[in-house]
Structure 1
Amino acid sequence: MVISLLLIVWTAQLAPTLIRFVTLTRVPYVQVASINVTANGVFITLTVVNNGSLGFKPIGGWVEVMDTGQFGVINETSRSLTAAVPLTSQWLSLGNVGVRGLINGYLSGNPAYIAFFDVIPVHVVNYIDVSGISYNDCVITVTLNASLVVPIVINTVSNMSLFTKYTAHYVFNTLTTYSINIKVPSGNHLVNLTIPIKSGPNVYAFSCSLSNNTTYVLYMPTIITYEFPNGNETTGRLFIYVFTYRGG
């Protein structure tokens, strides 16, 4: 649902040339494109929809999140309008929020304002990915870069393998499950997973080190539990990381 109101500011001399009859389908309006909750704050993205010949050029404004009472200043980027508000615990329990605000700018060269109200789903963004690995003496250390809104538990790694990208030669291949059980708090963190690769039942280690100037692929299926305030959510995550070993 989008509610938008356009106000044009003009002088008495210009008024006769600016007044015209328009339908709502031809009037520029503002809608909230997304709300992303991240470890670094809550980011609200707005879009100006220009219809017909009336082109609105935004230069600033403000937003208010009705469900939290927070205010944010709208900043214009090359691609969109954004506003940021602080991350508070109440965001984790919100499904949809109402956002209202005012954008000022120019409509066909004349000062104008667009007031808007929109209801939009909240998207909680928990980022985690591989940022590096080391492999020596048949022990692999995988470094994860995590930016989390809620705590997580890295439960297990299963059927992990490491192989060369262009020749598909295995460094190791595992058909087993490794218990990790590492809890990572909310915020920004680097997390190391250290796993010994010892040949045995369902574990095949063909080399205990990496070759210089060789490109490898890490394949690592992982089970992760996200600890939301209204209950935990356990999901599978497949990490695939391609890198070239330079020695050292």
Structure 2
Amino acid sequence: KRLSKLAPPADSAESSDEERDGEQNEISDKGDDGSSEGEEDTHLHGFSSSDDDSSDDDDMDVEPVGIDVGKLPTIAKDDESVKRKLDKAKKQPTQDRGVIYLGRLPHGFFEAQLKAYFSQFGDVTRLRVSRNKRTGHSKHRAFLEFDSSSVAQIVAETMDNYLLMGHLLICKVIPKDEVHPELWIGANRKWRKAPTARIARQVHNKPRTEEEIERATKRLLKRQDQKKRKLAEAGINYNMDKVAY
């Protein structure tokens, strides 16, 4: 059954602009990696290349299985009007690239699925899924860059307010002067959640210096004295042996 475009809600344009602007503002937060996009060998926090060691996978949440994009309709082939527009754009390619913002993505649309699905329109040069910095879960928003701005415009016109798996997509072209300079940090890389359990275990089990042991001992003895004093105030005479590291 073909999925069709529906009339946009009254506040769709306004809400999409607010979501897009808010998302681009989040990119410059301290939680993002500060390396440049041209450093191919730099491992960004939260991302990894296909050559990375996967020995820590047990400490990380497994990404939910994405949807099978092969079962979705191929708009670029099935819709004759869209097909004609794309053919015309390919005959008259533009030199500059085009960036689009995608909002209200269905669950299961991750990096690989977005790349596979939107490649039906043209060459997707870069993409980035917005994710929660703490959990790594998708925020159902993404940015895609096409090799041609004319193709990006066709994608925005076709997919904006398109009903996909029960979600009305938001698809807008981002003007070139509004693209955040750090938008593509971590683009085209597989997301890996930081192994918080392993990091906490290493911090807890690391060897302690004599100064750290002394400070920990003082804190422990102080807490024991406080408990003993409270017991005495309650009329309980309890002699506890002091324990320390």
TM interval, shorter chain, is under 0.3
TM-score (norm. length: structure 2)? 0.18
TM-score (norm. length: structure 1)? 0.18
> Larger RCO: Structure 1 or Structure 2 (Cα < 8 Å, ≥ 6 residues apart)?
2
In proportion to residue count, which structure has more helix? Answer: 2
In proportion to residue count, which structure has more strand? Answer: 1
